[in-house]
Structure 1
Amino acid sequence: MNTNLLYIPLRQSRPIDLGQELSEIINHDFLQPSTTFEPDLNLVSNLRHLITTKFKNEQITKQHQEWLVQYLKYLQAIKRKFPNDVIEFGWYGLIPYGSPFKLRSLKFEELNIWYQLASVYSQLGCQESRQSDVGLKNACSYFQLSCGCFQMILQNLIDIPDLSRETIECLKYIMLAQAQETIWQKALSNMNHSVISKLSYQTSEYYSQALKLTNDDIKIEWINHLTVKKFHFKAASLLRRAIISQDCFKYGEQVAYLELANKSLELASKYTSYVNQLVLDDFQGLFQTIKQSLTNAHRDNDLIYHKIVPSEQELPSLVGVSMVKPIQPVITTSDIFNNLVPYIIIHVGQAFKERQDVFIQEQFHIPIQQLNTFVRKNISDRGLPASIDSITQSENIPDSIVHHSQEINIQLIVDSLSEIGELRTNCIQIVNECKSRIEGTSNFESLQARIDNMKRYLDRAKLGDDIVQEKYVDIKPYLDIYSQGYSGLISYIPNSKFVKLDDNLLTIISDLRSLLADIDKVITNRNQTLNDIDIRARENNIVPKLIEHYNTHSGELTEYSFEPIYDEHIKIFAQDLRYLENQKREQIELDLKLDDLTKKFQQACTVTATPRQESLQALETAYVKYLEVITNLNEGKKFYTDFIIKSNVVLKECEEHLYKQRIESRDLEQQQRQPQQSTTVEVVSPKTTKPIYNPNLN
């Protein structure tokens, strides 16, 4: 490419089958089959393949620009439907040695495509003929578009080791300077010296700004190029100011401006190594013109005008005028994956489902279980129904004991304890894996704090597990009796002598049995209500409401935007909340009745406690504790299951931290070992005999 301007070389990417990657994600995480979107998947897969295989420096056409713009449109649609971190993309850095930098981020891919588009625009700009007004206009437009792409990158830049803000700022100002240079070149043919001087000085300022932002990513050839351009256009501006001074008969100022211009080019001459020959030709031409003009001006002023030559501080400051700015290409979204339920809907829907589950657990299951546990314990503490069964059924096994025997399942406890042990082992393994991932790394304090918290949670949970285990051991002998069925119960419960009861006591006992039956009905009704609530929660899916809200607002939503939908959705349980309050009041009334009848029974009953009553009471107490153990075990399983889900998130962050640390260490080692690039590296604009800034090798 024969030009005295620079183009931005393309980057290279690790090939991936984007369509296949998205297909697997849809099948795994979405509620729809990927085959429904096969045409869209093929489109994105084929287009990315073109972008990673058909782009070569100095062989760029408008077709390449159209491909990149179309791919950016696809990415906009993909970003709306998929989470950011679902696919790992790999792009080679500005210095293309070693492995590519990899990141699970759609935003990372998008930034690199913006970089590629900036490169394409810069190369299209360099391809334009600068011998015609149309060519200059087109070149200026392309360079401003390239600048706009870099501006877009800066506005959305994430932490990428090889793509620093300073480097992108430098490239942005290079494009801005070259756009201004085309304006300056067009002005040469039809503008006055004052305008040309201002355009030239502003061009110099843009090159100067780019030069200030150079770093190790920018090759010395480009640094020299920018330096020569900076002084060249400053000298050109001073030359025009000298001509203006001559036209105004200010011959002393004319000499001063020419001296400054000559001094500027003398500084530039120190940086001409490896600079493009076309740039050097322009530089030498201007240098000769200024030298000759300075010689003539000195002679005329010394022999004819005798004007005082002012110092640099006494001259009016140069003023620039910018005629260019970053132009960001407008990228609309594509209609691909239009019928795919957005992942934000799935994510929010799942989050709301979990919140609803917690709501139901905390607002209904736990309170009702507490009410039931309290009333059972209250009954057991009063010696019921054992105290009345022992005197009314001297030989038969009470129905309540038979029902308990049918309900109790020792194997359920054994299996639950085993499951909790396995879950706890998995939790410990995850915590240990987290610790191993960050060992030997740096800047891990926040992760270490979270891992320490996880370990403390597990330690506290172990204390709770031990308490439940002790409860089980305490009641195990009685549960064994229950599990033996009728024969075991009849052998354990002794008979008692028949006792004739007076009518008053029989009435009290009848009232007590009726009240206990009512309490059993209340407990059964509560459990059925819980079952109904669970069914209603499953049947009332919030996702359709979320989709409707999403479509109504054209998809411009965050997760917090759906909160009103959840608040409205959860109102379907308002009646159940009122039911729970009624149950609390009803239980208070039942407790008062139970207390009153128990006192009457104790006053009326003259029969002392018998071994039969003590046996029945022991079995009743064991049953109440059995229910507590079952509840505790269910809570334990839920705790460890939730812990695994949350700790896996921390493990993933630890793995990403380790990967990033390894990449940084590898890059540092490569920089320390990597010798200077040989001259066999492909040379890009500005063309020299030595390698220049080249982020991609073709």
Structure 2
Amino acid sequence: MYTLMLAQAQESIYLKAAKDHKPGLRLKVAQECSDMYADALKSLSRDSLKGLWEREWLPIVSGKQYAFQALAQYDQSLLHNENKEIGLELARLQAATIQKALDAAKKDNDFIYHERVPDLKTLPALPKFAVAHAIAPSSPMSSRFKDIFAKLVPVSVQQAVACFDTRRAAVVSGEVARIRENTCLMNGMLASLNLPAAIDDFCRPEALPESIREKSNSVKSSGGIAALSAGINELPNLLRRNQEILSETVRLLTEEKACDDNLRQQFKDKWSRMASEKLTEPLWQEVKKYQQILETAANADGILRNKLATHRQGIGLLSQSEEELTAAVPGLQKNAVQKQCPSVVKLQELMKQVNELKDERETSVFLKALSELGSIKEDEISAEKLNDAFAPLRTRISDSIKRQEKIMGEVQQANNQFAQEKGVGSGVNRENMLKELVSAFDAFSELQENLKEGTKFYNDLTPLLLRLQQKVSDFCFARKTEKDDLMKDLQLNIVGQATSQPPTTPKYQEQKEPQENVKTLSYIPPRPPPPRFGATEQPKIIYYQGSAPLAQLANGNFSV
């Protein structure tokens, strides 16, 4: 099979090379293809393998071997013809048995060239060029490859993998929360110190510091306060949609249980099927789990709304135009400190380190590594192995947090020195406004990230709740079918039951009446015969008119 497939691959390459009209290239590819088919023919001709192939394969492979050998000889003859080597051309054509070209070349040789035609055995071997190579298939074969048998594993393995996924998700969530908590702490500390806006305001005395201008542009490019408010206001709708799906699921389970309890109370021991609470316990557990998840999500949405309300004014200012923002910031006062004082230089260097630390956490160094650290082998499912697998990443996170603590300590010291050198030259109202804007920007960034996570959470939760609802609906339908069948059997049993014997007849109902009171007729007289008339005799007809009888019979005439 291997040699045959390799020869077929070489043949497909020859078909492509044949379109290029290059005899030299076709010659090499065809010769190699002929040799490959020769190897395949040897393999197919083995006694141990003959039974595995249909008989037609041997002549097909043999014919292709000779065909490509002839094509190679023919292409070589074309090269000889270009070089005016007619004798060699004739030898190649004789070997290829291409009659038309052979006759033309033989005629030219007989009348013009008169060259000796060498024996085929004396000719040099044709050059070969192997283009097709055997390569072991990679696993997976492509990035879109999906093994349909990947989930065909024992139940114990599935449970272990599910347990591992749960533990891994808990570890990832914990580490991500750890990073974000420290980042928020750092942002809050910088906002309380009005950094780096205070440095920009001091070094570049402008109506609006450059850092505030950049933050404002970032907020406006993300949609500003309007887009953020619309997204947060949409979260209750997403929550309500999931709650309605879960409420419908609860209704189905409740109605099924009520129906089962009612019939069980009605038929007592005759209602022999299993009680609903025993069958629906896993479903109720799943429902309660999702109810707790939705309750937690609702509380988190409330926190987002409160946070937006707290920083709405600052985010609104950052969402306005540069002219409106500049007008809202109190004016500058003359600084009494030189721009290149040591505290300013130190703070600028520390702000660079802070930005590098933020960029490091936002890029693939931590979050991407946490999300992709899922290809752990099955023998690493235990908690100890899981901790060992995450140990290097946890170490890097701890180092990052230690660097943050060190940097923030130096920032506080440098800021205290900066405040002493700056003195009271800077307006308090302006600093408070800049602090508020910095805090608003940090809150906007955090709210935007939380909004994306919340929207994705609700959208991912909806299919899970629909799947649970479908499962409950199928269960209720099966229980209804079972109920109908059981009701039918009970009705047939009730109808088929034999009724009890009637009560004993009282004695007084069995007494007979006296014989003298019973008149019986033992003889019934026969019916009298009809009257007879003579041949001339006519029956006498009597007519009544009123109360007087009229009887006349005279010569067949009747008178009334």
Per the normalisation by structure 2, the TM-score is 0.49
Identify the structure with bigger relative contact order (alpha carbons < 8 Å, sequence gap 6+).
Answer: 1
Greater radius of gyration (CA): 2
Per the normalisation by structure 1, the TM-score is 0.40
